A and B are shown apart, each in its own frame.
Chain A
Amino acid sequence: MKRLIFLLLLNSILANSFGQLYIQPSVGYTFSSHPTENQSSLIIDNLKSVYKTELKFGEGIHFGFNLGYCFMDKILIELNIKKTIYAQYCVSTEQPDLQSLNNFSLSGYFGEINNESSVFQIAPLIGYQVQKNRFNSYFKFGPNFMKSTINQTLKYIDWELDNWDFYPLNTIKKYEYTGKFHKGLQANLGFCYSLNQNLQLVLDFVTVYNNYEITKTEIKFYEIDGVSHLYELENTNIEIDSDDNKLNHSHYGIIIGIRYEFDRNK
């Protein structure tokens, strides 16, 4: 009974609020605003070089879908859903050939990192839009719920020291980092241009703050010189430090979309 009353009330509000229901498919590119930086240092014959690599989480091409309701042409209530469709990149630090060196020291990671991440986001937003003729702009704000899966492939040379001689072990390790839905914040600034009574072209600038919490890390692949060593590992799950388990997925970017408003003629 309560549910029925709620639905009738909601229906009455929607019918009398001079609002429009709208849908908006969109696509865009976002840049990581907080890449994870790692430094590696190499000293050869008293000459020091420091290399920096950046792992960019939240960066990539996204496909999105918005379902929203606009009250009195001003107030927006919206559910924004986004999914990464492409987020793949490679960073590397050139590996020194330790066999050919006599006087050296190094610290940090030297090798290649292939990173691929899949991010799914849901954001219930509330906003306000101002209108002038065929043009309007809006500001939307709300929580951002994110779920991310990161696949990282590390290709590097593990040096084995035997009788004061170094022997290269070509190593490939694949890690998978996952977490639950993690809450952050999202703010959008957008500009719309009415193409006709129902259709609008939307240019949306999105900013997301989400310092994503990793709850599980697993080694998926471990190979040395072409031979699998995964079976040698007692446990492929890596224990996560609860004080240091965040991968910052904060990002900003531009999304382009088409908004279709239903019942605009009313």
Chain B
Amino acid sequence: MNRVHFLLIVLLINSKLLLGQGVYFKASSNYNISASNQQMPEYFSYHLSVPGSAGTSTVYSINLNVAEFSIASGHNFQGTIGYALNDFLSFELKFSTFSNLKKEFEALPQLYGLNGKTEWDLHYYSLLPTVLLGQTFNKSAVNIFVYSGLGLSKLKIKASLGGFPQDKEYEFENSNTFSWGYGLEYVYVFSKHFSLFTNIGINNTNYTPERAELISSSLSMNNFSTIEKEIKYVDKITNIEVDYSGSTDSDSPEIRLKEKLKLNSVYLGIGFKYTLNK
């Protein structure tokens, strides 16, 4: 057993020394600016129950639709481990996080309809394998990079209507996020180990939720049935049983078609690079 441990340690030291020839770490902060709006996904319908006389109540459907919708603007932090095969070709694995900056959207005015407001809070964490093709000069280098990868997203949407105390907040189950993009990077070498870099690029991220749950409401949560609290998003809806009002079983989640949230942005970033050995 001791011999195995010894061999493993020798192997680890060896591989570290070998890898050390081209291994580097990077940390950067990027600012994403939305490049395109999208059709606002209708992840849920917002109904407002207004009490009337003699114990009756009227249910109104609230318009939440926004024509110019995008939550692609935001901050993005990246931590990277990279390996330079030579001056031309490098590989990186980026850990990337994102949070959207524009969160509130007021619905378009609509005749005979009440207009609501939604608040979108999105965070995603991705692992992005990246290929860099570069050219090195005296104290600087220019790289063209392309990446794609997967991650996990956390989305919360709050819907409200000014003056009516019936706010609702939905949390969306963690779902896969697919990102891809490309860009240009300029690196300036300060010392043997430290460099500063700046980059410009485009990023495209798609997120398709599969489930959502009502997590808070200004009304008591006990008032809601399962169909009002849970939503399941599916690829197809074919011949599902409904009652006279068009609703599915109240003890099961509401069924809706899947819709994609698209984040298209142009980003500018700045960061530093630490090279192990040169």
Residues of A within 8 A of B (CB): 33-34, 36-37, 39, 43, 46-50, 52, 74, 105, 128-132, 137-139, 141, 184-185, 187, 189, 205, 207, 209-211, 243-244, 246, 248, 250, 252
Contact = CB atoms under 8 A, between A and B. Distances in A.
Contact of B204 (A33, A46, A210): A33
| Most chain A CB atoms below 10 A, which of B35, B182, B201 | B35
Contacts of A43: 242, 246
Contacts of B109: 243
Contacts of B88: 130, 132
A46 B146 contact: no
Nearest to A132: B88
Nearest to A107: B246
Given A49-B237, A185-B35, 12 more contacts: A34-B38, A34-B39, A43-B246, A49-B240, A50-B237, A50-B257, A74-B135, A130-B144, A131-B135, A139-B184, A187-B201, A246-B68
A224 to B, nearest CB: 28
- Looking at chain B's contact residues, the main secondary structure is strand
A48 B240 contact: yes
B67 A243 contact: yes
Interface residues of B, number: 39
Contacts of B257: 39, 50, 52
Nearest to B33: A185
Shortest Cβ-Cβ A-B pairs, 8 listed: A209-B36, A50-B237, A209-B35, A130-B135, A47-B239, A189-B182, A139-B184, A187-B202
B203 to A, nearest CB: 10
Interface in B69-122: 88, 108-109
29 contacts: A34-B36, A34-B262, A36-B39, A39-B257, A43-B246, A46-B242, A47-B240, A48-B246, A49-B240, A50-B257, A105-B246, A130-B135, A130-B142, A131-B135, A132-B88, A137-B144, A139-B144, A141-B184, A189-B182, A207-B202, A207-B204, A209-B36, A210-B36, A211-B37, A243-B108, A243-B109, A246-B37, A248-B36, A250-B264
B143 to A, nearest CB: 7
Nearest to B35: A209
A49 B36 contact: no
A244 B183 contact: no
Contacts of B266: 185, 187
Contacts of A132: 88, 133
B204 A128 contact: no
A52 to B, nearest CB: 6
Interface string B248-278: 1000000001010010101000000000000
A47 B242 contact: yes
B151 interface: no
B242 A138 contact: no
B186 to A, nearest CB: 9
A246 B246 CA distance: 32
A44 to B, nearest CB: 9
A101 to B, nearest CB: 14
B150 to A, nearest CB: 18
A138 B142 CA distance: 11
Contacts of B144: 128-130, 137-139, 189
B254 to A, nearest CB: 12
B36 A139 contact: no
A51 B146 CA distance: 36
A43 B243 CA distance: 10
Contact of B262 (A33, A131, A185): A33
Given A39-B257, A47-B240, A50-B257, A187 B37 contact: no
B209 interface: no
A189 B143 CA distance: 12
B196 interface: no
A34 B204 CA distance: 12
A138 B143 CA distance: 9
Contacts of B238: 49
A234 B243 CA distance: 43
B37 A139 contact: no
B200 interface: yes
Contacts of B182: 139, 187, 189, 205
Nearest to A188: B182
Interface string B120-158: 000000000000011100000011101000000000000
| Most chain A CB atoms below 10 A, which of B39, B134, B201 | B39
